[in-house]
Amino acid sequence: MNAPLLAIEGLRSGYGEAVVVDGCSFAIRTGEAVALLGRNGVGKTTLLVTLMGLARVHGGSMRWKDRDLSTMRTSDRARLGIGWVPQERAVFPSLTVEENLTVTALPGPWSLARVYALFPRLAERRRNFGNELSGGEQQMLAMGRALMLNPALLLLDEPLEGLAPVIVDELSSAIASMVEDEGQAVILVEQHVEQALSLTHRAIVLERGRIAHEGSSTTLRADPHALERWIGVRVAA
């Protein structure tokens, strides 16, 4: 079996002296989509932030294709192939949609044409500035810009949060296309549990900074008792 893209062993991280992620171990392989689930405050976002080099590592290891990530700068992690869409989206407000997409682009299969095909709304708004877009359009732009870096692994931090149902459906379809049609590896942090599980192959549930469950997304989706116990949600039958 090929080596994983990302291998985490005993990772402990947080902010200052506070440890939020406390001993996590898992691996992500090429083309694999993983849902990272759990109640609020259990360390999901902190784990993504740690992968991007923006939190303090207290112990354990993070390896990217057998390279140590621990002391690597955020920009170098992006160049290696880790893309990140933060909750804040962080689009450039004074640049047009097209400028946002191309300003940090790296060579690879994800091109401007392919991003526009994935997000037709962005093609329609290509000459609009970032601050002229709706929240849903900004989320599409943030995802498209991350794809233009041609990442091997894309980190999505609650991309569906606070959006209208029609936009949630559009973004979910785009993520499904990335994963199933393009073979894009993804770690998806999301409070829309049913959709997160429907879009991914595997699920990891965090509880108090530790992994409480790891297994098939399909299996977890079919287990309402486990979902209620670990995540506190009721999934419709």
Query: Domain boundaries in the chain?
Result: 6-231
Task: Give Cβ neighbours of residue 40 (< 8 Å, ≥ 6 apart).
Answer: none
| pLDDT tens-place string over residues 177-203 | 999 999 999 999 998 899 999 999 999
pTM for the structure as a whole: 0.93
Supply the mean pLDDT for the chain. Answer: 92
Least Cα distance to 86 among 122, 17, 26, 139 occurs for 139
For 19-87, give the secondary structure using H, E and C: EEEEEEEEEECCCCEEEEECCCCCCHHHHHHHHCCCCEEEEEEEEECCEECCCCCHHHHHHHCEEEECC
> Are 196 and 37 in contact, with CB atoms under 8 Å apart?
yes
pLDDT of residue 89: 83
> Is the pLDDT score of 237 beyond 80?
no
Percent of the chain beyond pLDDT 90?
84
CATH superfamily of 6-231: P-loop containing nucleotide triphosphate hydrolases (3.40.50.300)
pLDDT level of residue 235 (50, 70, 90 thresholds): low
What is the tens place of the pLDDT at every residue in 151-171? 999 999 999 998 999 999 999
**How far is the C-alpha of 115 from the C-alpha of 123, rounded, in Å?**
9
